[in-house]
Amino acid sequence: MKYIDEFNDPDLARRLLDEIHATATHPWALMEVCGGQTHSIIRHGIDQLLPEQVELIHGPGCPVCVTPLDVIDQALEIASRQGVIFCSFGDMLRVPGSDRDLFRVKGEGGDVRVVYSPLDALELARRNPDREVVFFAIGFETTAPANAMAVHQARRLGLTNFSLLVSHVRVPPAIEAIMTSPVCRVQGFLAAGHVCSVMGTAEYPQLAERFGVPLVVTGFEPLDILEGIRRAVRQLERGEHRVENAYARAVREAGNPAALRMIEEVFEVTDRNWRGIGRIPLSGWRLAKAFRAYDAEHRFDVGGIRTEEPAECRSGEVLQGLIKPTECAAFGTTCTPRTPLGATMVSSEGACAAYYLYRRMNGPTPQATRATREEMNPVA
Amino acid sequence: MCLAVPGKVVAIDGSADPLTGLIDFGGVQKQACLEYVPDVRVGEYVIVHVGFALQRLDEESALASLKLFEELGLLEEEFGDAWEQAAQEDGTSAASERENSGSEAR
C-alpha cells in the first residue's frame, strides 16, 4: 500500500484497502464494465494494491472499442463521399477500419469534422443545407440521450440533410453474454456509474439474481472504485448477490426519466455485433421506425459492407476478460497506439491503451507510472 | 468520450430550444443541453457528457472530481484538439520527419 499517496484522499483509500484486505478470504474475480474505470484502475495501480485473492477483470466497457469493423468501414465509406460532412467524436479518428481510419480519410480529402456534441453536428446541417451531414452515433446508454435528442431536433426542425450512423450498445445484454460464456470466471461486477446515471438500476436485480453475482454501481475515481470493490467483496464473502449503489451522488434508482423517455421515443432495441466479440442478442439500439429516415446506413446504402477482423488481434478476448492485454503476442510489438490492430489499443478508454500508457508492458510492474506523450508516440 | 465531467451552471438560456446553459469545467466554459435536468439552476453542479447534462452533483463531489481530472490531464483529453492528438498518434507532422530521419527511440 505504499503507492496510494497520489490518491485524492490517501487516508480514506488506505482505510478502504485495509478493509478489503481484511474481508477477502477467498479468491474472487470482479469485472469492471466501464473503460473509464479500467483506466483509473491501471493508472493508479489499484489492481496491485488489492489482496492477491481479488482479481480485476477488464470488461467490454469502451464504446469505441466495441464498435464493429463493419460499421467503421461504413463510416469510412460515407465520409469519403462527395458532398458529405462526416461528424464524429474525436476518439473515433484513429480507430482502424479494414484498411484506413477517419484521420486518413480526412487526409485524402474527405470532409471529416470532430464535434464535441451531436448538437454541433445538427448545427452544421442547419448551416449547410446543400450538404449531407452525417453524425457517427456510437456509444453506450450514457451517450444515447444526446444522440436521441439530435435526431429528435432534426425532425422537429424539418432538416432533411442530417442523419445518424447508429451503432449504440447496451450494457445489460453484454453482462448476460459474459455470464453465459462457458469460460466465464466473473463472480461480481462493478457496474458503470454514468450508464446508470441515465438508465438507473432497474435492469440489474434480475441479472444479480439469475447469475448469482453482486452488481455494485461504481464511479470511476480511485476511491469510487475501491468502495465498489469493498462492497462487492463483502457481498461475495457473505454469499450475497444484490445490486448496490456505491455512486449515489450521481445515480438515482430511476435514472434520468427525461432522458429515458427520449431514448424510448427515438430508438428501439435490436441485436448488435460487438467488435471482437460477435453478435449479442438485443444488445443495441437502432432508430425507431418513426425516425428511420434519419438512418445513414440506409440513406447511403452501406448496410451490405461486411469485413473480417484481423486474425492476430485478440481484442475480443481482452474485451471479454479472457486475457490481459499483455498476453497478446502483438501487444507492444506489432500493435501500438501508433500502429493499432484493434480499437482497444487506440481508444483512450481501451484496456490495451491503458496497459501501454501506464507501462504495463510485461505484466504487472511495482508501480504504474504514466508514459510520456513521446513514449506513447515513440519518436525521439 | 466515456468521460462525463462535472461542471457548474453559470448561465441558463431560457429561450433556447432545446434548453441550453453555459457550464464551467474548472475554467473551460462550454454550452450544454439542459433538457434532461430541466429544473437545474445557476450555481448548481451537473455531470455533462457529450454536451448534455445528465444528473445533478453536489458541489463538494464536483470540485473534488474536477481537481482530480485536472491533475490527471483528463480535462485536456476531453476538451483538447482531437486532430492534433490524432496527428501525434499517427506520427505525422513534425514528429514523422524526425522518425524518418532515423532517430526513433522506443
Q: How far apart are CA A350 and CA A59, in angstroms?
A: 10
In the numeric block, the cell 444526446 is attached to A146
A348 vs B49: CB contact, 8 Å cut-off?
no
Whether pLDDT at A215 is above 90? yes
pTM for the whole thing?
A: 0.89
Tell me the per-residue pLDDT of A71-100, one tens digit each, with 9 for 90 and over: 999 999 999 999 999 999 998 998 989 889
Cβ–Cβ under 8 Å, residues A132 and A85: yes
Q: Which residue has the higher pLDDT, A318 or B74?
A: A318
**Residue of B52, B58, B63 to mutate, testing the A interface (most A Cβ within 10 Å of its Cβ):** B52
Q: Chain B closest CA to A97's CA: distance in Å?
A: 14
Nearest to B1 among A8, A89, A145 (CB): A89
Grid cell in block for residue A365: 510492474
Cβ–Cβ under 8 Å, residues B32 and B52: yes
Q: Chain B closest CA to A117's CA: distance in Å?
A: 5
Q: pLDDT tier at B2 (50, 70, 90 boundaries)?
A: low
A146 vs B95: CB contact, 8 Å cut-off?
no
Q: What is the mean pLDDT of residues A272-289?
A: 93
With CA atoms as reference, report the closest residue to A325 among A276, A264, A285, A266. A276
**Residue of B50, B63, B72 to mutate, testing the A interface (most A Cβ within 10 Å of its Cβ):** B50
With CA atoms as reference, report the closest residue to A171 among A143, A147, A210, A131. A143
pLDDT at A306: 84
Tell me the per-residue pLDDT of B6-43, one tens digit each, with 9 for 90 and over: 999 999 998 999 999 999 998 899 999 999 999 999 99
Chain centroid offset of residue A168 CA: 11
Torsion of CA A129, A135, A141, A143, to 10 degrees: -80
Grid cell in block for residue A175: 453482462
A205-212 long-range CB contacts below 8 Å, 24 or more apart?
A205/A242, A205/A243, A207/A172, A207/A175, A207/A176, A207/A179, A208/A241, A208/A242, A208/A243, A209/A241, A210/A179, A211/A176, A211/A179, A211/A241, A212/A241
Q: What is the mean pLDDT of residues A130-157?
A: 97
Task: Tell the burial category of A30 from Cβ atoms under 10 Å away from its Cβ (0-12, 13-18, 19+).
Answer: buried
| Closest chain A residue by Cα to residue B39 | A258
| Closest chain A residue by Cα to residue B70 | A8
Residues of A in contact with B47 (CB under 8 A): 194, 197, 250
Q: What is the mean pLDDT of residues A298-315?
A: 88
Is residue A301 left, alpha or beta, with left meaning phi > 0 and alpha meaning psi from -120 to 50?
Answer: left
pLDDT at A275: 86
pLDDT at A35: 87
ipTM of predicted assembly, 2 dp: 0.89
Q: How far apart are CA A52 and CA A58, in angstroms?
A: 17
Residues of A in contact with B96 (CB under 8 A): 379
B52 vs A139: CB contact, 8 Å cut-off?
no
Q: How many CB atoms lie within 10 A of CB B103?
A: 10
A145 vs B36: CB contact, 8 Å cut-off?
yes
| Closest chain A residue by Cα to residue B55 | A250
Residue A295 CB contacts under 8 Å (≥ 6 apart), including other chains: A163, A164, A166, A286, A287
Q: How far apart are CA A250 and CA A109, in angstroms?
A: 42
Residues of A in contact with B33 (CB under 8 A): 117, 119, 146, 149
| Closest chain B residue by Cα to residue A195 | B2
